[in-house]
Amino acid sequence: MDTILVVNAGSSSVKFRIYSIENEGMLRQQLKGQIDGIGSRPRLRASGGEGDPLADRAYPIDAVPDLPSAMEIAGAWLRDELCIHPIAVGHRVVHGGPDYDRPIQVDHGVVTRLERFIALAPLHQPHNLAPIRSILANFPALPQVACFDTAFHRTHSAVADHYAIPHGLHAEGVRRYGFHGLSYEYIAKTLPKIAPKIAKERVIVAHLGSGASMCALSGGRSIESTMGFTALDGLPMGTRPGQIDPGVVLYLISEKGMSAANVQNFLYRDCGLKGLSGISNDMRELETSDSFNARLAIDYFVYRIGLNAGMLAAALQGLDAFVFTAGIGENSATIRARVASQLGWLGVSLDQAENARHSRLISGSNSRIPVYIVPTDEELMIAQHTLSLLTKRPTTNARQERAS
């Protein structure tokens, strides 16, 4: 049976999934796996479609020093031991820049264009591109598709896309992009099956995971996001601060003598729930802690979600539904209840029993606005895009033409 490989590569891990292409182009997840601890304690773990364990192997550091070697090990395991030979590979690529408003089949020219956006996402883009390059080198005939976290937000109006800075910077790419686009696209595609009328209206989606953001959907299209130029802006996250006065960055440089690299590391790794609690970036740990700072971190997280929801409701000029998704949004009844109470002024109230059961619809019958939990599936979105680019003639995209 034909299969598609989905790759999501980060700085020290590569996650992968295999989807089989069933009748009428339906995709079924056949296995998922990852190699983590690249360059430190490399380990391959994988499980089948039913969660059945398939592999758990440790490797010496020098066998897996970097992403290309991890890709080779994962690829050899799939080919030689499982006899899986994917017909295409879909990749998560965080930044598509101003031009790419949809997934694209990659070749060397596209990779070169995507390298221009490394400066816009230095902690993600290089790692996303590494496996693409290594597959291009080793399997040049294997079709590869890049799916961008920014693409779904390219529907924003000019006013939402700008910062109040001189135009030259906007022209060179300093814009409000928005991220988690594959997750929001999946929700926008799923919502019509759950609530067809509401899917056409004004919806706020809260993607609350290690990274966290919210998106304003109008008729299924993104019109505003809490994230901007980078995935640092907006809500506080596991280790990122979210919205912060740029004056704080100037203070770190001028008064603390921090270099650009130190500030970058600080903002991506030492802030957010971890920085504020001083305990952990993991919401589960904070929820069970009775430390004052853990409570403060949760209070701050919930408060900022409420503030940002107000902002997005203003962008939408009203609100018809609210959706929770991702690790915290799908699993933490406590955080959902606290966010809902922040949104009480909008007419939101939860059915606490449905919320505790993690039901699909968790708002009470007296809630003016329905509240849903919709588990996200970014990998499935990537597999679907990859399949549809393979089976359709590629449509010419004026923006892509301009990009070349």
Residues at the contact surface with ligand ADP, assessed by CB under 6 A: 209-211, 238, 282-284, 287, 326-328, 331-332
For 42, 92, 158, the CA distances from 79, given in Å and listed in that order, are 20, 22, 47
Q: Is 62 helix (H, G, I), strand (E, B) or coil?
A: helix
Catalytic residue among 56, 99, 101, 149: 149
Query: In the bound complex, what is the minimum distance in angstroms from residue 394's beta carbon to ligand ADP?
Result: 30
Question: Which residues lie closer than 8 Å to 13 by C-beta, 6 or more apart?
Answer: 34, 35, 36, 37, 38
**Smaller CB distance to ligand ADP: residue 331 or 363?**
331
Nearest to 372 by CA among 210, 218, 199: 199
Minimum separation from the CB atom of position 211 to ligand ADP (A): 5
CB atoms within 10 A of CB 44: 21
Q: Which is nearer to ligand ADP, 175 or 304 (CB)?
A: 304
Least distance in Å: CB of 212 to ligand ADP? 8
Closer to ligand ADP by Cβ: residue 64 or 286: 286
Q: How many CB atoms within 10 Å of residue 137?
A: 10
210 is in an annotated binding site: yes
8: three-class secondary structure by DSSP: strand
Do the Cβ atoms of 180 and 194 come closer than 8 Å? no
Quote the least distance from Cβ 183 to ligand ADP, whole Å. 9
Task: Please confirm, yes or no, whether 149 is among the known catalytic residues.
Answer: yes
Question: Is 15 among the annotated ligand-binding positions?
Answer: yes
Least CB distance to ligand ADP at residue 287 (A): 6
Question: Which residue of this chain has its Cβ atom nearest to ligand ADP in the complex?
Answer: 327
Question: What separation in angstroms does the CA of 60 have from each of 39, 42, 65, 324, 404?
Answer: 9, 7, 9, 40, 42
Closest CA to 125 of 157, 162, 100: 100
d(CA 142, CA 147): 16
- Whether 13 has a binding-site annotation, put simply, is no
Of 105 and 334, which has the nearer Cβ to ligand ADP?
A: 334
Count how many Cα atoms sit within 13 Å of the Cα of residue 9 in the half-sphere of its side chain: 25
378 marked ligand binding residue: yes
d(CA 266, CA 252): 10
331 is in an annotated binding site: yes
Is 284 annotated for ligand binding?
A: yes
Nearer to ligand ADP among residue 71 and residue 326 (C-beta): 326
Return the SS3 of 321. strand
Query: Which phi and psi angles does 193 have, rounded to 5°?
Result: -80, -25
DSSP secondary structure, 158-174, as one string: HHHH--SS-HHHHHTT-
160 vs 380, beta carbon nearer ligand ADP: 380
From the CB of 272, what's the least distance to ligand ADP, in Å? 10
Annotated binding site: 8, 15, 92, 207-211, 282-284, 327-331, 378
Annotated binding site for ATP: 15, 207-211, 282-284, 327-331
The set of catalytic residues is 149
Annotated binding site for substrate: 92
